[in-house]
Each structure stands twice: as C-alpha cells, then as structure tokens.
Chain A
Amino acid sequence: EPEVTQTPSHQVTQMGQEVILRCVPISNHLYFYWYRQILGQKVEFLVSFYNNEISEKSEIFDDQFSVERPDGSNFTLKIRSTKLEDSAMYFCASFYRPNTGELFFGEGSRLTVL
C-alpha cells in the first residue's frame, strides 16, 4: 500500500539552527501539507502546497518557515532559525484530489530544540 514517508524520524537541534524535514508524498498525489503536533496537543495545520506554490498557510507558518518541492518527489519543510517552541511532531500529508476527507499522513518527524 502506498504511503507517505518522512525523514528524519527524530532530530535534535540547538536553538537558532536551521532544520530541514523531508517528506516523500504518495506518487500520484497533487496536494501536500505540513501539520504539527506539540506533545499532548491537537494536530495543527501549517501549510498547504499545490501546483508548486503555497495555497494556504496558518499564522504559525511565519517567515522562519518555508516549503519546497525541489525535484517532483520530495516535499521539504525548512525552519530557518529554530526556537524552543518549535519542538513538536511534524506531519507531512498528501492528497490526490479535494472534496473528500482522506488525507494520507506520514509517521511524523519529531523535532526537539534544545
């Protein structure tokens, strides 16, 4: 069964460092997302990406965040200068077409900022 894969599964970084989280969405999917989940809290929308551009972003997704689909298969989330409060689980999701509810989520990348 096709799946969304994410790397790394866990990254520990120092405050102020840049972090890149990588995702390989399901191959025929056209819509891509990043969500995050702070420990014990709900899943929060960060950004959606379609047709090689951001289609929507949340208030969380400030200038420190960026996304890219550099090669047609990978979908990356970059945090330029990490803060302690960026510590969370980051989930990538993909979707073939809208107007159904089924997004496919990866297993997540846990980011710990020290």
Chain B
Amino acid sequence: GESVGLHLPTLSVQEGDNSIINCAYSNSASDYFIWYKQESGKGPQFIIDIRSNMDKRQGQRVTVLLNKTVKHLSLQIAATQPGDSAVYFCAGIRGGYNKLIFGAGTRLAVHP
C-alpha cells in the first residue's frame, strides 16, 4: 500500500540556519510529492511540490529534492526564521482525484 513517513518527529534549529526536513515514501506510483506546513490551530498550507520526473525544485527560500532511487524526499529551508516554526508534512499524490497521503509530520522549532 501507500505510505509516506518522516525520519524525525522534531527538528530544532537556530534562527538564520538552514533546515533540512526529510521524508521517505514507499509507493513509487505517486505522480507528485508535496510539502505542506501546518501552524498551530490552522489547516495545512501548501509550500512546494515536485513532479516525480524531477530531482529538484526551488521556491522562495525553499528547495525540494527528490531521490527516487532511495525513495527519499527532503525540504530545505534557507535562513530559517521564527515564522517557519510549524509542523511540516510531506505527501504523495497520484493523479486522478488528487488524494493526498500524508506522512506523520516533523515539528520544526526555530530558536533565536
């Protein structure tokens, strides 16, 4: 079956450092992989996605890397800010009706 899972439940970083959040997946049939950010008491918010035929995609301060060989996905946040503190979920998606399968989430704590 499908599963998307996270390596670590909590990541603590200093403000200004770069953060790397990792994710493993088991289903190679996903067409897209996505990172969502969830702040306390709010719904998930889209950060960035990557098609399964790409290795890297950059956004504003964020980069997603996809390694299909080892079924690994990572989110890199440059110059982490206090506002980046949240739980980050990776998700896999297969075409059709866009059912997202979420991982367990990693809590990012940014310290001044």
How far apart sit A14 and B100, CA to CA, in the bound complex (Å)? 31
**Is the CB of A84 closer than 8 A to any CB of chain B?**
no
Q: Please give, as numbers and ranges, the residues of chain B lying within 8 Å of A102 by CB-CB distance.
A: 34, 46, 49
Q: What is the interface size of chain B, counting residues whose CB is below 8 A from a CB of the partner?
A: 27
Of B38, B42, B91, B96, the contact of A101 (CB 8 Å cutoff): B91
CB neighbours (8 Å) of B91 from chain A are: 101
Residues of A within 8 A of B101 (CB): 45
Are A48 and B102 neighbours in the complex by a CB distance under 8 Å?
no
Given known A-B contacts A43-B102, A108-B43, A98 and B49 have beta carbons under 8 A apart: no
* Range for the number of chain A residues in contact with chain B: 20 to 34
User: Which interface residue of B43, B100, B102 has the most chain A CB atoms within 10 A?
Assistant: B43
B46 CB contacts on chain A under 8 angstroms: 101-104
* Pairwise interchain contact A98-B95, C-beta atoms closer than 8 A: yes
Known A45-B99, A45-B100, A45-B101: A100·B42 in contact at CB below 8 Å: no
Q: A35-B100, A43-B102, A101-B91 are in contact. List 20 more A-B contacts (CB 8 A).
A: A31-B98, A33-B99, A42-B104, A42-B105, A43-B44, A43-B100, A44-B102, A45-B101, A56-B96, A91-B44, A98-B96, A98-B97, A98-B98, A99-B32, A99-B95, A99-B98, A103-B46, A103-B98, A107-B41, A108-B41
Residues of B at the A interface (CB closer than 8 Å) are: 31-34, 38, 41-46, 49-50, 89, 91, 93, 95-105
Query: Which 6 pairs across A and B sit closest by C-beta, in order of nearness?
Result: A101-B49, A105-B43, A101-B34, A55-B97, A48-B97, A43-B102
